């Protein structure tokens, strides 16, 4: 298949652009720390390492040296997580690290179950944004503001510093250019509701709930919910995961993929 047959085109009308901007601030993955399982010194040392800060406060280093161990639970892929810890251990060999990686659902369930049993095994958590509220409700996180957070947009930091985004996703519309001519490409959210895209013409991730979050911020909840109900009435093909859906669209299985 020729590469030029596959093109990704973002929704470009003003309203859509506004929504995408809001999505960027909503699809966030934040670092959070458990309030009863870690002291400030060790976490601050870890955060300084991730940010590239060359000379953390000597008091932080001394405190971390006394604590001696960092437990990181994350949804980040295992290869990247291991590389991060390798870099950390190379810089601070006196701190031993322990890594646990799982998907957001299993990871959140594990945290809550262990907390219920009185166990708090993790020190630093990195995961998807929607994991935060259940942890905050159980008072399992504590605020932390790194020096680098001053350069962040306000939408990327918790109001009290209880989380900070380090990774964002933006939803775009992918179009199979062999099946859809340029002039027929949807260029607004409303255009996706056209009869041309009914009954299996749109591929949608079954886990794409952040779209509702972003559109609610841009449009208001009522309009966002109404739009997604109308989109559901288009009978899109709902399937988990992005890689396979993009490949199927490129192969001609669907004209459009979100």
Provide mean pLDDT across the span 176-192: 94
User: Which residue segments constitute the domains of the chain, with CATH numbers given?
Assistant: 3-25+170-257 (3.40.190.10), 28-168 (3.40.190.10)
Distance separating alpha carbons of residues 250 and 5, to the nearest angstrom: 7
pLDDT at 171: 85
Q: At 175, is the secondary structure helix, strand, or coil?
A: strand
For 46-67, how does the pLDDT look when each residue is reduced to its tens digit (9 = 90+)? 555 555 555 566 777 777 778 7
pLDDT, tens only, 186-233: 999 999 999 999 999 999 998 887 888 889 888 999 999 999 999 999
- Residue whose token pair is 């892929």: 77
Q: What is the DSSP letter of 157?
A: B
CB contact at 8 A, 12 and 189: no
Q: What is the mean pLDDT of residues 120-138?
A: 84
pLDDT band, residue 244 (cuts 50/70/90): very high
What's this model's pTM, rounded to 2 decimal places? 0.62
């Amino acid at each position: 298949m020729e590469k030029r047959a596959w093109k990704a085109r973002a929704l470009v009308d003003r309203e859509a652009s506004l929504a995408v901007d809001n999505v960027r601030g909503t699809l966030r993955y934040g670092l959070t720390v458990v309030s009863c399982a870690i002291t400030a010194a060790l976490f601050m040392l870890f955060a300084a390492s991730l940010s590239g800060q060359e000379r953390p406060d000597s008091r932080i280093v001394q405190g971390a040296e006394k604590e001696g161990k960092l437990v990181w639970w994350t949804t980040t892929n295992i290869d990247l997580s291991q590389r991060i810890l390798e870099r950390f251990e190379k810089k601070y060999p006196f701190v031993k690290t322990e890594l646990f990686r799982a998907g957001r659902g299993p990871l959140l369930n594990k945290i809550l179950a262990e907390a219920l049993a009185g166990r708090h095994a993790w020190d630093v958590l990195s995961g998807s944004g929607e994991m935060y509220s259940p942890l905050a409700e159980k008072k399992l996180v504590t605020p932390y503001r790194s020096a680098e957070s001053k350069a962040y947009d306000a939408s990327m930091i918790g109001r009290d510093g209880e989380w900070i985004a380090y990774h964002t996703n933006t939803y775009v519309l992918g179009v199979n250019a062999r099946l859809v001519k340029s002039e027929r490409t949807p260029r607004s959210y409303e255009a996706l509701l056209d009869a041309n895209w009914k009954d299996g013409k749109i591929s949608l991730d079954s886990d794409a709930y952040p779209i509702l979050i972003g559109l609610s911020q841009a449009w208001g909840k009522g309009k966002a919910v109404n739009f997604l109900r109308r989109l559901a009435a288009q009978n899109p093909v709902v399937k988990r995961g992005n890689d396979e859906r993009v490949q199927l669209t490129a192969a001609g299985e669907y004209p459009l993929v979100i």
